[in-house]
Structure 1
Amino acid sequence: MKNLINYTVVLLLLVFSGCSEDLESVKYDDINPSIFPSSEADVQAIVASAYYPLRGSYGNGIHSTSENGLMFILDATTEILQGPYGVQQEASLHSYKASSTSFTRFYDVFYNKISNMTLSIDRIEKSNVNEQIKKKAIAEVRCARGLLAYELFDLYGPIVVAPLEVLKNPLDEQPLARLSNAEMVSFIENDLKAAAAELKSPAETPYGRFSNGLARMVLIRLYLHEKRWAEVEEQATAIMDMNYYGLEENYAGLWDITAPVSSKEVIWAVPADYAGTSENQWQLMVLPNNFPGRGGYGTIQSSWKFYDSFESTDIRKMALIAEFTGTDGVTYNRANPANYMQLGPIPLKIHPDAARTTALTTVDMIIYRYADVLLSRAEALVNKTGTPTQAAIDLVNIVRRRAKISEIELVNYATLAKFNEMILLERSHEYWCENGQYRSDLIRHGKFTEHAIDLNGAASQSEPYKALFPFSLAKISEGKGKFIQNQGYN
């Protein structure tokens, strides 16, 4: 609550170099709520501030590709990524606890951003600008709030969501309890449904901005989380019925140095820039210092278990670098890994961008793609009835054909258990190193702990309660008995 006393709209953005429509770099300080916002430009500045915590930034962007971002830390809790030291090793071994600030920080850094967005919506509603402008602006802020709230919910379970009347009286400090699961789901769902109703179609939406397609995609993730299969199918069908999205023929091209601004597969991406307002640091994270061209810190690897799970012709495997000849002239691989590949191959899904002049790259961070819609709908169709169908198999085969691997047949996945085992593996192969959602997929299928123990054996400290991250001790203390820690971390 203390951080809300001086509420300011800070716009460093754009960040989103491809999101120029109605968004300009402006900084507003010491805002007087009685006169701001008073123009369309003011409203657009508030909208832009809602994108700010969702960008890729080491310090305060939740989609950073460093250890301070979702993809890195979440995929590292699965077989997709492994780390030999530091926070990445904590993630891999599931050894995080309430004093592990790298895991508690996501709530500490970002939960107040939801409150800021609530105040932003109220300010826009009370402004005197055109009603249509207000409606579209509020939809964009609600989409940002719903997305961020979902991401924190996925990490920690229900969180504190401060009501507007509390936010308007910041000097009247009062501890707040976390929402119930039903309340949390309803809060996110209401934001995303309202956003979907008012946001523009993907065809009308500038690259990097929120469309109604994104709002529905995040609803799919929410409904998957809750196993509300009929609603997953409903939202996936609605996206498919837009007749806009499709798969790119060139899978690897989605992560080229040329941004996929016109791609019909990208539902939402975070544009990156060399200025560092929205950073992509992935090459810095994964490339060894002796990698040809331009190296990095080599902080994290994939696992050989994950690498071996792909079919040999799968093009999605090609970006898992299983061998390279270093600048020292030595060839490194599984047989001669040194300290570069002892856990697994190098997970370089994006273009190496060897010509980059800084530690950063301008390869954009794709967060959601249309392939997710297809596989989510397939999973929903089967789990809704408990019986695999040809329609679900057909959806999976659309994705597999693009991956250059054999199509599957219903006869081989005729039971629910067999189908779910297949769909879970397919999801890991399709989305590795994108938004970290495979952790949630494992949890949904009851495989999170099992996979962690299988990967790390006796070294694993995984337990079922580790499916949720802990809250910091400071937040529990501030809650004065109302804010309850997640089970297992007391």
Structure 2
Amino acid sequence: MKNIKLIIIGVLITLSSGCSPELESVNFEEISPAIFPQSEDDIEALVAAAYYPLRGAWWDGFHTTSERGVMFINDATTEILMGDFSVQLYATFHSFEPIHESVTRFYDDFYNKISANTLSIDLIENSSANENVKKIGIAEIKCARALLSYELFDMYGPLVVAPLELLKTPLNEVPLARLSNDEMVSFIEQDLLDAAEDLLPPSETNYGRFSQGMARMLLIRLYLHQKRWADVEEQANLIMAMNHYDLESDYVGLWDTQAPVDSNEVIWAIPADYAGTSENQWQLMVLPSNYPVRGGWGTIQSSWKFYDSFEADDIRKTNLIAEYVGTDGVTYNRSNPGTNMQYGPIPLKIAEDAARNTGITTVDIIVYRYADVLLSKAEAIANKNGVPSQEAIDLVNIVRNRAQLDDLLLADYADIDTFNTMILLERSHEYWCENGQYRADLIRHGKFSEYNIDLTGAASETAAHKTVYPFSLDRISEGKGEFLQNPGYN
């Protein structure tokens, strides 16, 4: 595709603390491919480059917890988050269009990172470095490529994936078409199958790095996206058979200032720090300026509809702040929302981190947890057979019991529609403001537009084609007829 702005390993890579803090920045413009990579440090530098765009950073981190991050925009298309300006407004009312750069930028800013990973894999494959180091390095980069590819695919549909031959001749500008759905799925799937084979098991993987468990968790998300129920069940069983993962007893404590580095529930998390190399800005996003512990910008709220959907004793709503006394001495709540709670409670999710009155926190960004494996398997076995089973209910109850809730009874969820409504509710309660995948859950069950209309009423601009975001006009223009806009946005 024209202007495939390749990073061709010819960029200055700033390594984040979540990847390899001991490494120096490497300027690949000064290194000949004939002699790089050769050493273990060379391979590690390329691996760090693959992690780099996936971190939490406002300017160029895909998983920033700000309005420029995937969780923020995706959860804002559901009842979990609501906002009244910029990207949160477009998401809340499903009013996003190709002219909205805050929506189209995720593809524009990150699709070339897929190409950069392809080039890195080729460099490693043709290097003289230690074969075992090469194998694990390639597996990590393939997992990084698959994660970014899957998340963009989930948001926009099939992508342009440039072949290696074209990437090696960057001056040859060739417009490329997007892959078909099956081609896109196969591309992501093969990367993840390869990664699951060669990555280290979770017990041997450093915190913040990809493991076999992470590769298989992403396969679960990909197979859920395609409703390949038997494959979801198989991957869930393989993760469970690792005998490594389990639920933490303290749900709320997972998002404390003490990083969950030893947690057997965390499948993958992004370490955050005060230096801003990989940052968590969530308090800044959600806390009003007059919040007593530490103020923020109050850019986003939850909805009262979402808050009311929780059972009274559900500990998972602990950090949905429904009332606070502001620094002005006024009590803010549903009856007196001011401009901070007119849509709903404050969706804090993570610890206040009161010791630091800055815009960022060291609370790590947890992206995938073992609870997702349990609920995904429950959904898969029920939908595979078309009839809920006691096993499916038992899996849901494991997650609910940690939230200090009573068991559900199979008799109350005996038909598949009732069961799926329940599983959607449980998923929203368990994963709100984590990875933004509840949007995909609603889409999978055909509830995306229905729930938006129920939330926003006549103001909703939802439509069938809004299950994917639009591409920018620049991408369509430079595609010269090969790159086609998503239907409904023309």
**TM-score class normalised by the smaller sequence:** over 0.9
* Deviation of 1:356 (Å): 1.1
Runs of at least 5 residues in structure 2 that lack an aligned partner in the other structure? none
* Deviation of 1:293 (Å): 1.7
For residue 435 of structure 2, give the secondary structure of its aligned residue in structure 1: coil
Q: Determine the C-alpha separation between the residues in 1 that align with 2:44 and 2:459.
A: 51
Amino acid at match of 2:25: V
Q: Name the residue aligned to 1:84.
A: 84
Q: Show the 5 A alignment for 1:28-427.
A: 28-30=27-29, 31-427=31-427
Give the TM-score taking structure 1 as reference length. Answer: 0.98
Amino acid at match of 2:296: G
* Deviation of 1:131 (Å): 0.8
Amino acid at match of 2:246: G
In structure 2, do the counterparts of structure 1 residues 5 and 117 end up closer, same or farther at CA, with 3 Å as the change threshold?
closer
Q: Determine the C-alpha separation between the residues in 2 that align with 1:226 and 1:385.
A: 16
* Deviation of 1:57 (Å): 0.8
* Deviation of 1:4 (Å): 1.8
Amino acid at match of 2:423: I
What percentage of aligned pairs have identical amino acids? 67
Aligned with 2:6 (options 4, 7, 12): 4
For residue 422 of structure 1, give the secondary structure of its aligned residue in structure 2: helix
* Deviation of 1:8 (Å): 2.0
Amino acid at match of 2:285: M
Q: Name the residue aligned to 1:13.
A: 15
For residue 267 of structure 2, give the secondary structure of its aligned residue in structure 1: strand
What is the CA RMSD across the aligned residues, in angstroms? Answer: 1.1
Say if 2:139 and 2:194, in contact at 8 Å, map to a contact too: yes
For residue 267 of structure 1, give the secondary structure of its aligned residue in structure 2: strand
Amino acid at match of 1:198: D
Q: Determine the C-alpha separation between the residues in 1 that align with 2:283 and 2:54.
A: 20
Q: Name the residue aligned to 1:25.
A: 24
Q: Name the residue aligned to 1:456.
A: 456
* Deviation of 1:6 (Å): 5.3
For residue 13 of structure 2, give the secondary structure of its aligned residue in structure 1: coil
Give the TM-score taking structure 2 as reference length. Answer: 0.98
For residue 3 of structure 1, give the secondary structure of its aligned residue in structure 2: coil
For residue 5 of structure 2, give the secondary structure of its aligned residue in structure 1: helix
For residue 171 of structure 2, give the secondary structure of its aligned residue in structure 1: coil
* Deviation of 1:27 (Å): 2.5
Amino acid at match of 1:65: T
Say if 1:293 and 1:355, in contact at 8 Å, map to a contact too: no
For residue 56 of structure 1, give the secondary structure of its aligned residue in structure 2: coil
For residue 366 of structure 1, give the secondary structure of its aligned residue in structure 2: strand
Q: Determine the C-alpha separation between the residues in 2 that align with 1:229 and 1:24.
A: 42
* Deviation of 1:36 (Å): 1.3
* Deviation of 1:279 (Å): 1.0
Q: Determine the C-alpha separation between the residues in 2 that align with 1:358 and 1:20.
A: 25
* Deviation of 1:282 (Å): 0.2
* Deviation of 1:156 (Å): 0.4
Q: Determine the C-alpha separation between the residues in 1 that align with 2:35 and 2:299.
A: 48
* Deviation of 1:9 (Å): 4.9
In structure 2, do the counterparts of structure 1 residues 375 and 5 end up closer, same or farther at CA, with 3 Å as the change threshold?
closer
Q: Determine the C-alpha separation between the residues in 1 that align with 2:230 and 2:413.
A: 21
* Deviation of 1:158 (Å): 0.2
Q: Determine the C-alpha separation between the residues in 2 that align with 1:10 and 1:115.
A: 16
List per-residue Cα deviations over 1:51-104 (Å, max 9, x = no partner). Answer: 001000111111000010011100000000000222111110000001111110
Runs of at least 5 residues in structure 1 that lack an aligned partner in the other structure? none
* Deviation of 1:15 (Å): 2.6
List per-residue Cα deviations over 1:411-454 (Å, max 9, x = no partner). Answer: 00000001001001000000000000000000000000000111
Q: Name the residue aligned to 2:446.
A: 446
For residue 62 of structure 1, give the secondary structure of its aligned residue in structure 2: coil
Q: Determine the C-alpha separation between the residues in 2 that align with 1:443 and 1:305.
A: 19
* Deviation of 1:11 (Å): 3.0
Say if 1:10 and 1:49, in contact at 8 Å, map to a contact too: no
Larger displacement relative to structure 2 (182-191 or 24-33):
24-33
In structure 2, do the counterparts of structure 1 residues 396 and 114 end up closer, same or farther at CA, with 3 Å as the change threshold?
same
Say if 1:5 and 1:170, in contact at 8 Å, map to a contact too: no
* Deviation of 1:20 (Å): 4.5
| Number of residue pairs matched by the alignment | 487
Amino acid at match of 1:359: G
Q: Determine the C-alpha separation between the residues in 1 that align with 2:265 and 2:8.
A: 41
Say if 2:9 and 2:120, in contact at 8 Å, map to a contact too: no
Q: Determine the C-alpha separation between the residues in 2 that align with 1:437 and 1:489.
A: 23
* Deviation of 1:395 (Å): 0.2
